Amino acid sequence: MVAVNVIRRAIGKSKAMEMCLTGRTIDATEAERCGLVSRVVLLASLFDAAIRIASVIASMSLPTTRMIKETVNRAFETPLAEGIQV
């Protein structure tokens, strides 16, 4: 049940219903379009892409990155009205 709720929140009710009821899977391009993944890269470029993203994050201050992560997670995990206040 937890996985279904996570999928529903990530890709929307109608797409989650279709996938859960039919067992249909999606490819990487559709997963990116639905917001299920943030980015799609070729396997050969995966390590370089991960290092580039990690370098950008690592260049920020630690307290700032912690606050951003906490804010995004709390806003995502709470009802809309409460998430907006966060």
Query: For residue range 44-57, what is the model confidence (pLDDT) as tens digits?
Result: 999 999 999 999 99
Q: What is the pTM of this model?
A: 0.63
Q: For residue range 3-54, what is the model confidence (pLDDT) as tens digits? A: 666 667 778 888 888 888 898 888 999 889 888 888 999 999 999 999 999 9
Residue with tokens 């559709």: 30
What pLDDT is attached to residue 43?
A: 93
Question: In angstroms, how far is the first alpha carbon of the chain from the final one?
Answer: 26
Domains of the chain, residue spans: 1-40, 41-86
Structure tokens at 40: 């799609």
* Statement: residue 66 has pLDDT above 80: yes
What pLDDT is attached to residue 36?
A: 82
The conformational region for residue 68 under phi > 0 = left, psi -120 to 50 = alpha, else beta, is alpha
Question: With 0-12 CB in 10 A as exposed, 13-18 as middle and 19+ as buried, what is 26?
Answer: middle
b (16+ CB within 10 A) / e for 70-83: eeeeeeeeeeeeee
